[in-house]
Amino acid sequence: MRYIALIYGDETWFDRQSADDQAAHMARWDEFSEAVQAAGVITGGARLMPTPSARSVRRRGGPLVSDGPFAETKEQLCGFLDLEVDSLDEAVAWAERCPATRHGTIEVRPVAPE
């Protein structure tokens, strides 16, 4: 079954870390990436550009397009993982291993069947 792991965090967190902490964080990401690839459970994923590059689209009597996400949250959607695993428990287990859980939140959701 297919699951999307939505990675939420403070998109400015990384830039506020020391060079050594940034290197250690990236090493953890490299290790995680190698593990999900070796297990054959990742089918895609990406880091997203910062929220100032986003546009939000709403329709309330007519289209309204505004800069940024303007979600009422302390964390921003920073990226996603596209996982192909047997169960929600397995998807959650992979999410728990993701380095982003050290400073953010990962929401794991099943993808609706087509």
- Closest C-alpha to 54, from 71, 42, 41, 30: 71
**Domain count of the chain?**
1
């979600």: which residue's tokens? 71
* Enclosing domain of residue 77: 2-110
Q: What is the pLDDT of residue 70?
A: 54
Burial of 14 by CB count in 10 Å (0-12 exposed, 13-18 middle, 19+ buried)?
A: middle
The CATH number of residue 33's host domain is 3.30.70.1060
State the DSSP code for 49.
Answer: P
| pLDDT higher than threshold 70 for residue 3 | yes
CB atoms within 10 A of CB 78: 21
State the pTM of this model: 0.86
Q: Residue 73 — very low, low, confident or very high, per pLDDT cuts 50/70/90?
A: low
